[in-house]
Amino acid sequence: ADHASGGLMPLPDGTPGHAIFYVQVDDVAATSKRVEELGGKVVLPATKTPDGLEFSHVTDAEGNRFGLWNPSAG
């Protein structure tokens, strides 16, 4: 992307608020798998929205959570 972007979304009751940053990648599923190979975990598997955006949530080997996304995976 040529610029920073962001968004807000409602959370289920009782879910603490938090911020998460995303890294744009070419292949969300393959990058998620690579995170696991390097000792991280997939928290939310690759998910595709109706408009074609694909994303996942992962943690690195130290437990830091971040997202992977591809805006035009569809």
pLDDT in tens, 18-28: 788 999 999 99
Say which DSSP state 39 is in: T
> Which residue range is the domain that position 59 belongs to?
22-70
Angle at 28 between CA 24 and CA 32, to 5 degrees: 110
pLDDT in tens, 38-67: 999 999 999 999 988 999 999 999 999 999
- Counting the structural domains of the chain, the total is 1
- Domain assignment present for 8: no
Whether 13 has a pLDDT exceeding 70, the answer reads: yes
Q: Find the CATH number of the domain harbouring 41.
A: 3.10.180.10
